[in-house]
Amino acid sequence: MTDAVSLLRSHRESIDRLDAILVYTLGERFKHTQEVGRLKAAHDLPPSDPAREAEQIDRLERLAVEADLDPELAKEFLAFIISKVIRHHEAHRENT
């Protein structure tokens, strides 16, 4: 039982560390997308770019396969992020 508890603790520490990496990485990503939103608003560009979004979904799906991650999970995750980014871009456009 002690070995199981030790292994569980080790896995949880790794999960916690990876969660922190994800949060900081998302923070950095959103800093860039906020700048893109400001740039698009300043130049009257549309908040959404369906061609780029499709490319990114395809790219993430390939990366997911390489990483041994469920591609559907990766696509759902990116779709969620894209929807947030578009809302941010629309807000920048409204505030310009």
| 20-53: pLDDT as tens digits | 999 999 999 999 999 999 999 999 999 999 999 9
Indicate whether this model's pTM tops 0.85.
Answer: no
Please answer whether residues 88 and 32 qualify as being in contact, where contact means their C-beta atoms are separated by less than 8 angstroms: no
Please answer whether residues 71 and 16 qualify as being in contact, where contact means their C-beta atoms are separated by less than 8 angstroms: no
